Structure 1
Amino acid sequence: DGGSALKLAASEKPDLILLDIMMPGIDGHEVCRRLKADESTRDIPIIFITAKDDEEDESEGLGLGAVDYITKPFSSSIVLARVRTHLILKKAMEDVASQNAALREADRMKEDVNRIMRHDLKAPLNAIIGFSSFLLDSDKFEGPEREYLSIINESGYTLLNMIDLSLDLYKMENGIYQLKPVPIDITTILRKIIKLHETEIISRHLVCSIVQDPAASLASSQNLVLGEELLCYSLFANLMKNAFEASPKHGEIRVTIRSRAGELEISIHNTGEVPEEIREKFFEKYVTSGKPHGTGLGTYSARLITETQHGSIRMESSPGGGTTVSVRLPTP
Structure 2
Amino acid sequence: MSEIKQRILLVDDDSAQLDSLRNIFQQNYEIVLASSGKQALQQAEKAPLPDLILLDTVLLDTDGYEVCRQLKENAVTRMIPVILITNSNETNDGSKELAAGAVDYLVRPFTADHVAGVVKVHLRLSATMKDLEKQSLILAENARLNNVLEGLCEYDFKAPLQAFIDIPIQLSRELTMSSFQKEMLNSISLSASNLLEIISRSIDLYKMEKGTYQLSPFPVDLLKILQQIFQEHKRTAEKKEIRFALNINQKAASVEDIFAIPGEKRLFTFMLNDLIKSAIEASPGNNEIRISLNHSSHSTMLIKFPGVFFKKTLDQSNPEHPLSEAEYFTVPGLYLARLLAKTQGGDLAISMSVPEGTTFQVDLPLAENRVEAGSALDKSVADKDVNLSSGKSKAETKILVVDDYAFMRQTIAGILRQSGYQKIFEASDGFEAITFLENNRADLILCDWEMPGKSGMEVFKFISCRNLLKSTPFIMITASSALSELEIALENGIQHYIVKPFSPDILRKKVEAVLAKPIEKEQSI
1:282 aligned to 328, 348, 353, which one?
328
Cα gap change, 1:115 to 1:241, in 2 (>3 Å): farther
Choose 250-259 or 306-315, whichever is displaced more.
250-259
Alpha carbons 1:161, 1:230 under 8 Å: kept: no
SS in 2 for 1:121: helix
Cα gap change, 1:217 to 1:200, in 2 (>3 Å): closer
Cα gap change, 1:142 to 1:212, in 2 (>3 Å): farther
Alignment of 1:87-126 (within 5 A): 116=152, 119-126=155-162
SS in 2 for 1:320: coil
Deviation at 1:148, TM superposition (A): 3.0
1:193 maps onto 2:229 in alignment? yes
1:226 aligned to 256, 262, 275, which one?
262
SS in 2 for 1:265: strand
1:273 maps onto 2:273 in alignment? no
2:271 match = 235
1:299 match = 334
Unaligned runs of 5+ in 2: 1-146, 310-320, 369-525
Deviation at 1:152, TM superposition (A): 2.7
CA offsets, 1:200-256, max 9 Å, x none? 212222222323333699997741121112211111111112111111121322212
Q: CA–CA distance in 2 between the matches of 1:230 and 1:181?
A: 11
Deviation at 1:136, TM superposition (A): 6.0
Alpha carbons 2:223, 2:258 under 8 Å: kept: no
Q: CA–CA distance in 2 between the matches of 1:266 and 1:180?
A: 21
Q: TM-score, normalised by structure 1?
A: 0.54
Cα gap change, 1:204 to 1:179, in 2 (>3 Å): same
Q: How many residues align?
A: 210
SS in 1 for 2:201: helix
**Paired AA for residue 299 in structure 1:** L
1:308 match = 343
Cα gap change, 1:180 to 1:212, in 2 (>3 Å): same
Unaligned runs of 5+ in 1: 1-110, 288-295
Larger radius of gyration: 1
Cα gap change, 1:272 to 1:143, in 2 (>3 Å): same
Cα gap change, 1:143 to 1:173, in 2 (>3 Å): same
Deviation at 1:325, TM superposition (A): 0.3
1:182 maps onto 2:218 in alignment? yes
SS in 2 for 1:189: helix
Greater relative contact order (Cα 8 A, min sep 6): structure 1 or 2?
Answer: 1
Choose 136-145 or 176-185, whichever is displaced more.
136-145
Deviation at 1:267, TM superposition (A): 1.3
CA offsets, 1:98-129, max 9 Å, x none? xxxxxxxxxxxxx9899646742221222222
Alignment of 1:208-223 (within 5 A): 208-214=244-250, 222-223=258-259
Choose 149-158 or 198-207, whichever is displaced more.
149-158
Cα gap change, 1:244 to 1:215, in 2 (>3 Å): closer
Q: CA–CA distance in 1 between the matches of 2:367 and 2:257?
A: 9
Alpha carbons 1:222, 1:264 under 8 Å: kept: no
**Paired AA for residue 213 in structure 1:** N
Cα gap change, 1:312 to 1:120, in 2 (>3 Å): same
Q: CA–CA distance in 2 between the matches of 1:182 and 1:255?
A: 23
2:355 match = 320
**Paired AA for residue 349 in structure 2:** R
Q: CA–CA distance in 1 between the matches of 2:222 and 2:155?
A: 30
1:13 match = none
Alpha carbons 2:246, 2:252 under 8 Å: kept: no
1:171 aligned to 189, 207, 214, which one?
207
**Paired AA for residue 328 in structure 2:** F
1:30 match = none
Alignment of 1:37-56 (within 5 A): none
1:75 match = none
Q: CA–CA distance in 2 between the matches of 1:191 and 1:217?
A: 11
Alpha carbons 2:220, 2:261 under 8 Å: kept: yes
Q: RMSD of the TM alignment (CA)?
A: 3.2
SS in 1 for 2:286: coil
Q: CA–CA distance in 1 between the matches of 2:159 and 2:282?
A: 34
CA offsets, 1:283-326, max 9 Å, x none? 3xxx2xxxxxxxx3222211111011111221121231111101
Q: CA–CA distance in 1 between the matches of 2:186 and 2:337?
A: 27
Choose 125-134 or 314-323, whichever is displaced more.
125-134
SS in 2 for 1:180: coil
2:299 match = 264
